[in-house]
Amino acid sequence: MFFELVKQMAAREGFTEKLKAQDQMLWVHRMNNIRNRAMEMVNNDLIYA
């Protein structure tokens, strides 16, 4: 569930391997942001529901 959310959110926001090659720190920053949001969504569904 978590990995699927991360993939979907990254695709929706347009993060590609091209961005990763051009600006690695920006890519890492944004992917960490996506991972944190996805983890919060999973926690809300599984733990807090």
**Which of 9 and 48 is assigned the larger pLDDT?**
9
The DSSP code sequence of 1-48 is -HHHHHHHHHHHHT--HHHHHH-HHHHHHHHHHHHHHHHHHHHHHHT-
**Could you read off the pLDDT of 11-23 as tens digits, one per residue?**
999 988 898 999 9
Q: pLDDT for 28-44, tens place per residue? A: 999 999 999 999 999 99
Token pair, residue 41, equals 């969504």
Q: What is the pLDDT of residue 29?
A: 96
